[in-house]
Amino acid sequence: MPQEIFSIKPHHFVDIITSFGTGKKTFEPHPYGHDAHTVSQRILDDRDILIETELGIDDICKPCIHNVSGSCDDTIDTSFRPTAPSSKSDWNLLIDRRWCNRIKIKQGDRLSARELVQRIRYYMGDITDIYLEIPDDRIAEKAQNLLKGIRFFLEPENNFV
């Protein structure tokens, strides 16, 4: 039987691993109807699940109420990031391209979740330049939780979180 594959934006994957670093291990549906809860649980249940990099609408976005004809019509809060684009679609693409450059992946690449986390750990460095539009103090906490999530994901027997 062929291995199951799902598509995911790089920043969605990073956000999921970061959530593991905050201690989150159970996931609830979101009012927008997106599938982050399902994908998060699948990644947690199978660290070797095959992932395909997607820079457009991924499997999290597909059922979202803001997925309108294959494009996200949502906006972001720019009050604390005034230089960011207000279009969530434009913002996501900007962040996803930066993550792709950082961890050396591109649209359509297929890796296991474990391989993708290993790449993030290896290439991550200082993530403030990935989130240039967000104040450094907000990114510092994200970076700490991402590192905790990476350790939890790659070394679950050590219970870092």
Q: Report the C-alpha gap between 6 and 42 in whole angstroms.
A: 10
Is 148 a member of any domain? yes
Contact (Cβ atoms closer than 8 angstroms) between residue 19 and residue 149: yes
108 domain-assigned:
yes
pLDDT at 4: 79
**What is the pTM assigned to this prediction?**
0.94
Using CA atoms, how far apart are residues 141 and 161, in angstroms rounded to an integer?
A: 14
How many structural domains are present in the chain? 1
pLDDT value at residue 2? 58
Q: Kindly state whether residue 160 falls inside one of the protein's structural domains.
A: no
Angstrom distance (rounded) from CA 147 to CA 155:
12
The answer as to whether 159 is a domain residue is no
From residue 123, give the alpha-carbon distance in Å to each of 77, 104, 105, 116, 126: 29, 8, 11, 11, 9
Q: Is residue 35 part of a domain?
A: yes
pLDDT number for residue 158: 65
The pLDDT score that the predictor gives to residue 161 is 45
What is the residue range of 90's domain? 5-154
Write down the residue that tokens 């993708």 correspond to: 116
- pLDDT, averaged per 10 consecutive residues of the chain (161 residues), comes to 83 97 91 94 95 97 96 95 96 98 98 98 96 94 97 79 45
Residue count of the chain, please give it: 161
